[in-house]
Amino acid sequence: MFQDTIAGIATAMGEGAISIIRVSGKDAISITNKLLNGRDLHKAQSHTINYGFIYNPETGEKVDEVLISVMRAPRTFTAEDVVEINCHGGILVTNKILELLLVAGARVADPGEFTKRAFLNGRIDLAQAESIMDIIHAKSEQSLSLALNGLDGRISRLIKEMREEILNIIANIEVNIDYPEYDDVEEMTSELLLPLSMKIREKMIKLLETAKTGQILRDGIKTAIIGRPNVGKSSLLNQLMREEKAIVTDIAGTTRDTVEGYINVGGLTLNLIDTAGIRETTDIVEAIGVEKSKKILSEAQLILLVLNNNEPLTDQDRQLLKLTDEKKRIIILNKTDLESNIERNEIPNYIETSMVLDEGIELLENSIKEMFELGEIGSTDMTYISNARHIAKLKQALTSLEDAIEAMKIGMLVDMVEIDIKNAWHILGEILGEDIGDALLDELFSKFCLGK
Ligand code: GDP
Ligand code: ZN
């Protein structure tokens, strides 16, 4: 299908032990051959790893000692001939080999282009391609297994099933239109098509119900830990991390004063907002200003508000209590190992903790799980829909189907009904990447990393 052969560095750039340069396309093998000083990989069996050396064809100079995987179409990642060169991991060597491949006739791959080819060559559908991106960006065990299920085609299978059932309805309508001798249209719609449509509607709703949990599993719960200075925010964070052997998997500054970090706590991923503020023992409201903290609070799906049991409530405590009043919030009454001086009757529903005695953390975790109805998140057998694009499309398809159902109920002409039904079928197809526009495809795949 594609005339050109692409090449890209598939491993992270930096000084690793090895780097992998991937070449894909109809000339992948002959282009690589040009760097092998007469050796012919066409003679290698498919799906073998071959030891050898890369040479600069112009100077004859040896560039690196390598292992070369040869995989012939169609049983490869892109469904094209694929060669993967495992070289020593230095930036210089890796770039040099890529450069030589480009001189030998390959074109440098765009981000996500290998995966895009896998999709366009029909090896995976679009939902599966998007799962590959999710695997790369997975932040927790859950989001990883979710993504693996996606690559495995679970969502795709459910969507395909729905489409087949919709197609069945369309076929019934068409038969009715084509053979007017069965012209008791009304009877057919109410007795046959309506129950079928309702059944599909139920399936769509059921899958959509998994979206909330799916997105939480995928992206974590956006959490802000707030409280005035010295109440124990940093201690709480450390406790969450240490106690559950959680790891901070990613702390990357997005802007100078907002830092996000992910911690995995007992099967939950908390996507912490403004970790920097917490770490520096600074008070969120004072340090970054009321406007900014309001913004953080509005972005948060969960607020952990920490109060100090040992001291009476301050104005600032009251302000924070009020500010978070309507949010999903857990109030943490910390330092319960010390004398209680706080006005407990003024505080709604709180959890008592002592970071010193290591008490209350489990309770906290359980409340979070309860709050987000994550009772059975351990079970990855369930299929969750978690990709925002898929969710949006599924909602659209549901709306169309419901329009059709309404039309059936009031006895509209069957070809009017058919328009909405066909629309639902079409929209579901977009989840799988059917009839999807080039612009959207480019946008989706450009979010991938280079070499993927
Ligand atoms: P932050 O400013 O809100 O982040 O508060 P820190 O976590 O830095 O804690 C402030 C001080 O309170 C430190 O000296 C902690 O050791 C202490 N602290 C935190 N939690 C507790 C607790 O549960 N009991 C007692 N007694 N001290 C605590
Ligand atoms: Zn702190």
Task: Point out the ligand 1 atom lying closest to the alpha carbon of residue 236.
Answer: 7
At 277, list the tokens: 């503020």
pLDDT exceeds 80 at position 44: yes
Rounded distance from Cα 294 to ligand 1 centre (Å): 24
Task: Point out the ligand 1 atom lying closest to the alpha carbon of residue 235.
Answer: 7
pLDDT exceeds 60 at position 325: yes
Cβ 300 vs Cβ 223: under 8 Å: yes
Cα gap 216→72, rounded to integer Å: 39
Burial class (CB in 10 A: 0-12, 13-18, 19+), 233: buried
Cβ 156 vs Cβ 128: under 8 Å: yes
- 225-256 pLDDT, tens digit per residue, is 888 888 888 788 777 766 443 333 333 333 33
At 338, list the tokens: 């010390």
Q: What is the mean pLDDT of residues 6-28?
A: 87
pLDDT exceeds 70 at position 276: no
The class (CATH top level) of 6-125 is: alpha beta
Residue 256 has what pLDDT? 30
Query: Quick one: DSSP state of residue 57?
Result: T
**Structure-token match 């600074």, residue found:** 282
Q: Which ligand sits closest to the CA of 228? A: 1
Q: Using most ligand atoms within 8 A of CB, pick from 278, 304, 355 the residue to mutate for ligand 1.
A: 355
At 264, list the tokens: 């995995």
Cβ 267 vs Cβ 379: under 8 Å: no
Report whether residue 393 contacts ligand 1, using a CB cutoff of 6 Å. no
Residue 289 has what pLDDT? 55
Query: Quick one: DSSP state of residue 190?
Result: I
The class (CATH top level) of 218-371 is: alpha beta
Burial class (CB in 10 A: 0-12, 13-18, 19+), 17: exposed
Residue 422 has what pLDDT? 93
Report whether residue 360 contacts ligand 1, using a CB cutoff of 6 Å. no
Higher pLDDT, 343 or 382: 343
Residues near 237 by Cβ (< 8 Å), separated by ≥ 6?
Answer: 225, 263, 272, 275, 278, 279
For the chain, percent of residues with pLDDT exceeding 90: 41
Residue 259 has what pLDDT? 42
Burial class (CB in 10 A: 0-12, 13-18, 19+), 245: exposed
Distance of CA 303 to the CA centre of its chain: 23
Cα gap 22→16, rounded to integer Å: 16
β-strand 82-88 against 248-253: which pairing, if any? unpaired
Q: Look at residues 171, 307, 170, 338 and name the one whose alpha carbon lies nearest to residue 226.
A: 307
Report whether residue 240 contacts ligand 1, using a CB cutoff of 6 Å. no
What is the pLDDT confidence band of residue 278, given thresholds at 50, 70 and 90? very low
At 204, list the tokens: 């769509």
Note the ipTM here: 0.98
Q: What is the mean pLDDT of residues 15-36?
A: 92
Residue 152 has what pLDDT? 76
Domain boundaries, the chain: 6-125, 133-210+386-432, 218-371
Cα gap 403→306, rounded to integer Å: 48
pLDDT exceeds 60 at position 109: yes
- 71-105 pLDDT, tens digit per residue, is 999 999 999 999 999 998 778 889 999 999 999 99
Residues in the chain: 452
Task: Point out the ligand 1 atom lying closest to the alpha carbon of residue 281.
Answer: 2
Cα gap 223→133, rounded to integer Å: 24
Residue 189 has what pLDDT? 63
CATH topology for 133-210+386-432 is Four Helix Bundle (Hemerythrin (Met), subunit A) (1.20.120)
